[in-house]
Structure 1
Amino acid sequence: MKRILFPTDFSEAATNAFVHALEFAKIVQGELVLLHAFELPVFDNQFFPENYMIIYESVELSQFEMFKEEIPKLRAIAEERNLDKIRMTHRLMDGNLLYNINKSIKDDKIDYVVMGTEGASGWSEFFSGTNTGNVLADIDVPMLCVPIDAKFKKTETIGFTTRFRAKDKKALKNTIKLAKMANAVVKCLYVKTSKSDVDRSTIKNWEEDFENEPIEFFVIDSDEVKETILDFILYQEINVLTMVTYKRTFFEGLFHPSLTKKFANNFDVPILAIPMED
């Protein structure tokens, strides 16, 4: 059974992402590990020699009480969606969020992470300078990143962006497995810029390798990579976009500070980021 880590701060963004986590667990026949991490305040105990432990214990207690109050709300959401049979376990951990996520990935043998994000005005901000972006850059398991405006829709079409690297093929095979579990199709996009070095024979080999799979390949000539991906999501009715991260270098190369307003205001589909070494 697949194990899915769901870090939450019980915010609106996290609650929205929880619905995606439940539905994803249903697709992969997995279970959820709910993680709430909090950082204790730093005090110089020479100024609080008597109250030092009381302060820490009160913070821990308040976090525990909130955790205890919020978990039933998440279980109620699961019941409303008839997904209350999905097994859920809970972790309340003090310390740095990224450290605790990585600790849980190791200790709980996590296969996927699902995490919400809010306040991003576009993909460049979404993948940098946020908790989600920081986690994405530093974990070694696939991560489903859910923007706050991405309301859940049944997964019927999964997008996959590629540059036809050899390691992309492994990620594509895993994406096809997910698609079959969801009874979905995969639409694979390559944005061929004026600097692209992929030849037609490589593309043809990929098409032949996957000719018996539920997949369709799209090669679009354009130097506007960001806008082309956005249009692809819109016109091909993509429910989830899968991207190979290559330890974030893909995103660093793809995104530029001069995002168009059109692009920045229309990001509303989850991204499944699959980490690969360069």
Structure 2
Amino acid sequence: MKKILFPTDFSEVANNAFIHALEFAKIVNGELVLLHTFELPIIDNQFIPENYYNILDSLQLAQYDMFKDQIPKLRELAQKQHLENIKLNHKIMEGDLIYSIKRAIKEEKIDFVIMGTSGATGWESFFIGSNTGAVVTAVDVPVLSVPVESEFAKIKTIGFTTRFRDKDKSALRQVLKIAKKAHAEVKCLYVKTSKSDVSEETINQWKNEFGNEAVDFIVMNTDLVKETILDFVSHKNIDILAMITHKRNFFSELFNPSLTQKMSNVSIVPILAMHEE
């Protein structure tokens, strides 16, 4: 059984992502580990008030009480989705979010992280210095980011971008496993620019190697890489876009509001950020 870490602050953004997390858990036969983190105030040693430790205790208790109160609401959400059978575990940790997530991944042997994002486009906050963006670069498991605008719909098509490098194959195989369980197809996009050094022989070798899989390889000849990927998401009805995080600044450029706002047809879909092996 796969283990999925779901960090939450119980906001609307997180609750929307929780529905995606439940559905994803159903697809991969997984269980959810709900993680809530909090940070206690730092006080200069020279000015510690007499009742400092009492204050800390009451702040910790308040966090635990809030956590305890929110869990039934999440169970109610699961029930509405008819996914009350998905196993839920709970974890509350004091400390920095990134540190806590990394620790939880190690302690719980986590396979995936799923987080909600919000911002000018939903994608913007994910890739430009947000908590989610920081998590992507800090952990070594796939991270599914869910923009608040993205309502869950049955996953029929998963997009995957590649540059036909050998090290992209393991990520594609992982995507194909998810697609198989979701009864979905995979559309694999390569944007072939004027500087591309990928040969037709390499492309054909990939097509032969994955010939028995439900994957469609699409090669687009253009130098407009970012625009082509966004166009691909919209025109091919992509429900989740899987991308390898080999170059994070590329993500920042790709999902920059100045670019996405120019393209009225851009679909805001969850992004599955995968790591190079």
- Shorter-normalised TM range: over 0.9
Aligned-partner Cα distance in 2 for 1:64–1:118:
25
In structure 1, stretches of 5+ residues that fail to align are none
Taking the aligned partners of 1:274 and 1:28, their CA distance within structure 2 comes to: 16
Find the aligned partners of 2:273 and 2:53 in 1 and give their Cα distance.
Answer: 41
Identify the residue that residue 160 of structure 2 maps to in structure 1.
Answer: 160
| Structure 1 residue 256 displacement after superposition | 7.0
Q: Which runs of 5+ in 2 are unaligned?
A: none
* 8 A contact 2:7–2:114 mirrored in 1: yes
**1:156/1:78 Cα in 2 relative to 1: closer, same or farther (>3 Å)?**
same
Q: 1:57–1:247: structure 2 CA closer, same or farther, 3 Å change rule?
A: farther
- Residue identity over aligned pairs, in percent, reads 59
> Residues 122 and 265 of structure 1 are in contact (CA less than 8 Å); yes or no, is this contact kept in structure 2?
no
Aligned to 1:12: 12
What's the counterpart of residue 25 of structure 1?
25
Deviation at 1:170, TM superposition (A): 0.8
Q: Please identify, of 112-121 and 5-14, the stretch whose mean Cα deviation from structure 2 is larger.
A: 112-121
Quickly say closer, same or farther: Cα 1:74–1:125, change in 2 above 3 A: closer
Residue 230 of structure 1: aligned partner = 230
Q: Which amino acid aligns with 1:72?
A: P
Shift of residue 15 of structure 1?
A: 0.6
Q: Distance in 2 between matches of 1:72 and 1:83?
A: 14
Q: Secondary structure at the match of 2:5?
A: strand
Q: Which residue of 2 aligns with 1:111?
A: 111
* TM-score (norm. length: structure 1): 0.94
* Amino acid of the structure 2 residue aligned with 1:9: D
Q: Please give the alpha-carbon distance, in whole angstroms, between the structure 2 residues aligned to 1:117 and 1:58.
A: 30
Aligned to 1:50, the other structure's residue is in SS state coil
Q: Distance in 2 between matches of 1:222 and 1:138?
A: 32
> Structure 1's 116 and 179: CA in aligned 2 closer, same or farther, altered over 3 A?
same
Q: Where does 1:194-209 land on structure 2 (aligned, <5 Å)? A: 194-209=194-209
Paired residues in the alignment total: 277
One-letter identity of the residue aligned with 1:36 = H
SS of match in other structure, 1:259: helix
Structure 1 runs (4+) deviating above 6 angstroms are none
Q: TM-score, normalised by structure 2?
A: 0.94
Residues 103-182 of structure 1 aligned to structure 2 (within 5 Å): 103-121=103-121, 123=123, 125-182=125-182
